């Protein structure tokens, strides 16, 4: 295996844990190094790329949506999927059963649907695999 | 000999099960493996010199490499000067390099 490839399994839903932020940082850093990354999103993590997410204003600070610039996880996923252009460096697979359970079918463009069998295949073809479980 | 990379995200003052990482890392080091503990998120809370009951200094003396994520340190107001001797400030790029290093087993905790 000459080309370096990293697989991550994510489980935390969006806006729940610092694990999601760290996962995005790891994915971004790896892609910037030209390393291909596979993500298998399991359980609540399938909602990370949910297209229906909308930013919101902050009533505590009395700021508007524009002023707040609230980051959404779907925007992070979309941006990371764009890296590499036509030769996309990131493959993002959502667990289909987890998607159906949550009704989270409306994912951003580029997100694929799969099963734990895809995770096994990803792990087998990767230099390393990191599982980031819920606490 | 293998490379073991423990990624410690938990605050030892909240989760006593961080002892699992310390004990496993020590045992693996004693068996001649190359062991790194990468502290991030609340895992960096034990890296302050004046933190009580922190075992990190002792771990560093055994030859285990201990790195602390600069982003996590910054978020929690921990400066490099405050770090326990033997802990090196690091970054997410270094973590990626360690992850794709040959024969490395990565364990997130």
pLDDT digits (tens, 9 = 90+) for B52-84: 878 898 999 999 999 999 999 999 999 999 999
Compute and round to an integer the Cα radius of gyration of chain A: 15
Fold of the A5-132 domain: Hypothetical Protein Ychn; Chain: A, (3.40.1260)
Q: Which two tokens stand for residue A34?
A: 């030209």
3-state secondary structure of B106: strand
- Per DSSP, the three-state class of B71 is helix
A26 → closest Cβ in B95, B102, B104: B95
Contacts of A29 in chain B (CB under 8 A): 92-93, 95-96
Complex ipTM: 0.94
> What's the pTM value of the predicted model, to 2 decimals?
0.95
CATH number at residue B35: 3.40.1260.10
Q: Do B9 and A22 touch (CB under 8 A)?
A: yes
Range of the domain at B96: 3-108
Number of domains in chain B: 1
Q: Does B94 touch chain A (CB under 8 A)?
A: no
Nearest to B22 by CA among B51, B65, B56, B69: B56
Residues A114/A96, Cβ–Cβ less than 8 Å:
yes
Answer whether B3's CB lies under 8 Å from B36's CB: yes
DSSP codes of every residue in A64-110: -HHHHT---HHHHHHHHHHTTTTS--EEEEEEHHHHHHHT---BPTT
Mutate to test the interface with B, among A130, A132, A133, A135 (most CBs of B within 10 A): A130
Question: What tens-digit pLDDT sequence spans chain A (135 residues)?
Answer: 579 999 999 999 999 999 999 999 999 999 999 999 999 999 999 999 999 999 999 999 999 999 998 899 999 999 999 998 889 999 999 999 999 999 999 999 999 999 999 999 999 999 999 999 997
Residue A106 has which token pair? 């409306």
């Amino acid at each position: 295996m000459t080309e370096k490839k990293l697989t991550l399994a994510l489980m935390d839903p969006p806006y729940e844990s610092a694990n999601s932020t760290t996962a995005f940082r790891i994915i971004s850093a790896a892609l910037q190094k030209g390393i291909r990354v596979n993500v298998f999103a399991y359980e609540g993590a399938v909602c990370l790329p949910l297209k229906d997410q909308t930013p919101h204003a902050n009533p505590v600070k009395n700021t508007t949506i524009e002023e707040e610039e609230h980051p959404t996880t779907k925007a992070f996923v979309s941006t990371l999927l764009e890296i590499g252009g036509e030769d996309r460096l990131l493959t993002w697979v959502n667990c289909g059963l987890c998607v159906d359970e949550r009704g989270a079918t409306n994912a951003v463009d580029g997100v694929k649907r799969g099963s734990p069998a895809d995770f096994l295949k990803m792990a087998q073809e990767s230099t390393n695999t990191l599982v980031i479980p819920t606490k | 000999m293998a490379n073991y990379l423990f990624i410690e995200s938990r605050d030892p003052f909240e989760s006593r099960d961080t002892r699992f990482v310390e004990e496993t890392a020590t045992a693996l080091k004693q068996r001649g493996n190359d062991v790194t503990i990468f502290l991030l998120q609340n895992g960096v809370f034990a890296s302050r010199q004046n933190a009580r009951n922190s075992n990190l200094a002792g771990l560093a003396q055994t030859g285990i490499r201990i790195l602390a994520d600069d982003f996590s340190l910054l978020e929690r107001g921990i400066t490099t000067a405050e770090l326990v001797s033997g802990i090196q400030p690091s970054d997410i790029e270094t973590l990626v390099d360690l992850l794709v290093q040959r024969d490395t087993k990565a364990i997130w905790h």
